[in-house]
Structure 1
Amino acid sequence: MYVYQLLNGLFLFTLIFNVYKIQSKEVPFDTIVCFSDSNSDIGNVYKLSNSTWPIDPPYYKRRYSNGKIWIDKLGISNIIDYAYGGATTDNHLVRGSTIYNLTVPGVRQRIAMYKNTIHLRKIHYHRTLYTIWIVNGINDLIRIGAKHILIINLPLFEAYPATAIFNATALLKKLTLDHNNFLLNSVQLLRENHSKISFEIFDLYSLISNILINMTAYGINSTNKCWDTPHYTVVPLCSTPNTYLFIDQFHFTTRVHQFIADAMRKLLIKWKALFKSHRSIFSV
């Protein structure tokens, strides 16, 4: 028992020390443009729903969490957020919706929205990071002029409280892994075809897997939901949300968002070396 506690203590110390080292370094981007999902939404659905969802409070400042989310914690000062909860990849294929059956713009529709505002902005593409979670919007970003694109893969959907009712763990795992493998292969092709654009995958799947394997070391003791949200209301089920992986059936707690931000920051700092060693491609 003592050895187990000591090992956990050492793991936690190493984790905290590495986070401190990461946070003391500068991310090589000053703008982030996000076309992600509800775990990245900093108020778009709240505005769309006329300030009714997510309910603030207990949700934190229009976000789908109990505190700041990864994009707040990343350390990039200028956030241009086109993330919407309830969105799909393309409304021409499958319509996304939220409270009151309001239509949520798909990823490709959001990229078009952003494109229509480009003339209003002075964009330094080499200092701007674009984040997305699907492949079929990447070519749209390339046509816009994006130079650095971060693709976030899918996490473990089989671990989500919302999927427990389906009793389909194996199927959900297979579908997620198939998607992530397709993403990996697609990004490799993009690298080959667009040598002057940098593409990276943020491996959210492996990060959440690691947290689940080492829950005690990460300070997490439950994979249940801390809040229930029947009919767009909030029913608290726990009093210690930051010991939970999920704040509700679909979204991470702010503690987990911190781990996401730390891991993503570490990945982005590696790009700093590319800026210095490939100045013919990367201009700062």
Structure 2
Amino acid sequence: MQKQILSVGFFLLSLVLPLKVSAQNYDEIYVFGDSFSDTGNVFHFTSGAIPPKPYFNGRFSNGPVWVEYLASELNLTFNPNTNFAFGGTTTGVDNIGLSILPGLQQQISSFTTANNSANPNALYVVWAGTNDYLDYFLGNIPNPTNSVANLSAAITSLTAIGAEDIMVVNLPDLGKFPVTGGDTPSSNEFSTLTSAHNSSLAASLNSLSQQLSPDINIIPVDVNYLFNQAIANPKKFGFTNVTDSCIGDSPIVPIDISPQPVVCIPDEFLFWDEIHPTTTTHQLIGELAFAALLRASVPEPSVVLGVLTFALSAISLRKRFRFPSR
């Protein structure tokens, strides 16, 4: 898409704020996670079978995913070779899509084994957990304590080889995802699990921040808040539907590689399929992540509040006036 009002606004803010974040600070982004961040790993592994059309170029969405938008905000060219995220990944060693594919622990282990030292000028992204809870559909009982322990282990492993700036994303309320089918008991169960996961994750990140070296910067991204705001106020974000999916079932749970018809205007939907966001939603997540980087670089609480307020206002304006695509 064209440069958005939000991007212009952040540029203006950069002229007056002592920001740590810039293209000069980060020369690369390394990504570990699941289908929310996968830019084609499952697609290439399955020779283009998963995800099928009308999914976009191997993404589990109808366009670029959030880490690509974040890279753009940082004036970086996204490098798929530094993205280790696979659709179906859990925080442990399992993959609920194809068992031969890696979980988060294998992704991290593969990276740390191949790299004796991490690039201190790179941003490291960790976002996983959704599939730990979707595993409930396969008869397994999720355990938020174990999931968060896995995430903490991943972060610690990255810092052990020199990673300094690590972005960690929490979970949106899975009880509000179309995959629950509007079933109230299931929705409540998933909402409870999400809340337990996010509370435990926040506590764990706080603890790690105190235990690790002062050079380590853990950057939390509250995507849960973003989704809740979009669901509560869809018009503010330009959405007309925040409960249904645009094209139906996900090709991950269960695996379904048959093409799906597009029966909606994707930009007006929060969800592309029953699990995955539309690229419009991904762009909002990318902008939220960029705002989190700005917040992490500005210590004054009043300024932080101003940045976040500006970000939400700019997102609202961007959605309202709909800039053309590029």
TM-score between both structures, scaled by the size of structure 2: 0.71
Aligned to 1:279: none
Aligned to 1:82: 84
150, 166, 178: which is aligned to 1:149? 166
Equivalent residues in 2 for 1:123-138 (5 A)?
Answer: 124-125=119-120, 127-133=121-127, 134-138=151-155
Q: CA deviation at 1:237?
A: 5.0
Aligned to 2:222: 203
Equivalent residues in 2 for 1:33-52 (5 A)?
Answer: 33-52=30-49
178, 188, 191: which is aligned to 1:170? 188
Counterpart contact for 1:158–1:164, Cα < 8 Å: no
- Is 1:242 the counterpart of 2:281? The answer is no
Higher share in strand: 1
Identical counterparts, % of pairs: 28
DSSP-derived class of the 1:114 partner: helix
Aligned to 1:228: 248
Aligned to 1:11: none
DSSP-derived class of the 2:36 partner: helix
Q: CA deviation at 1:48?
A: 1.4
Counterpart contact for 1:73–1:258, Cα < 8 Å: yes
Q: Distance in 1 between matches of 2:38 and 2:230?
A: 23
Unaligned runs of 5+ in 2: 15-21, 128-150, 300-326
22, 36, 45: which is aligned to 2:10? 22
DSSP-derived class of the 1:191 partner: helix
Cα deviation digits, residues 85-111 of structure 1 (max 9, x gap)? 1111222xxx2142xx45220111111
Q: CA deviation at 1:39?
A: 0.9
Q: CA 1:236–1:183 in 2, change beyond 3 Å: closer, same or farther?
A: same
Question: How many aligned residue pairs are there?
Answer: 250
Unaligned runs of 5+ in 1: 1-15, 275-284
- Aligned residue identity for 2:216: I
- Aligned residue identity for 1:196: D
Aligned CA RMSD, in angstroms, stands at 2.1
